Amino acid sequence: MYIQKNNKKIYFENCTTFFDRLIGFMIKIEPISTGKRFPKCNSIHTFFMFQPIDIIMTDKNHKIIKMYESLSTEKIILPKKNVYYTYELPLNTCKLFTINEILNIKEDKS
């Protein structure tokens, strides 16, 4: 799956299993180039991460409610009202979007 913005595609993995949701980007040393989406998730932490990430939080219709640019390690985002999806994304992704914008989510047909 990916988010389409103009000619740019931001690929992400949909994290639905317990293990995927537990690990996220923890202990990942390589630079982050794709994202992760967590359904039914309105809070996160960045403990045990080695690099900052961008966070986008949306409602069920993919409307952006909150964004956190370059969230450093060892941080907590407390639960946010009306958030359904939380996206952990590569740095500088938030610069492409604005609050209240609806993400254009596409299935990868390849």
Question: How many domains, in total, are found in the chain?
Answer: 1
What does the pLDDT look like over 45-94, one tens digit per residue? 999 999 999 999 999 999 999 999 999 999 999 999 999 999 999 999 99
CA distance 32 to 35: 8
97 pLDDT more than 60? yes
Using an 8 Å Cβ cutoff, are 3 and 103 in contact?
yes
Q: What is the pTM of this model?
A: 0.92
pLDDT at 24: 85
pLDDT at 21: 87
Instruction: Provide the domain limits for residue 29.
Output: 2-106
For position 91, which CATH number holds? 2.60.120.1140
**Starting from the edge strand earliest in sequence, which strands make up the sheet with 8-14, in order?**
64-71, 53-58, 85-89, 35-39, 8-14, 2-5, 105-106
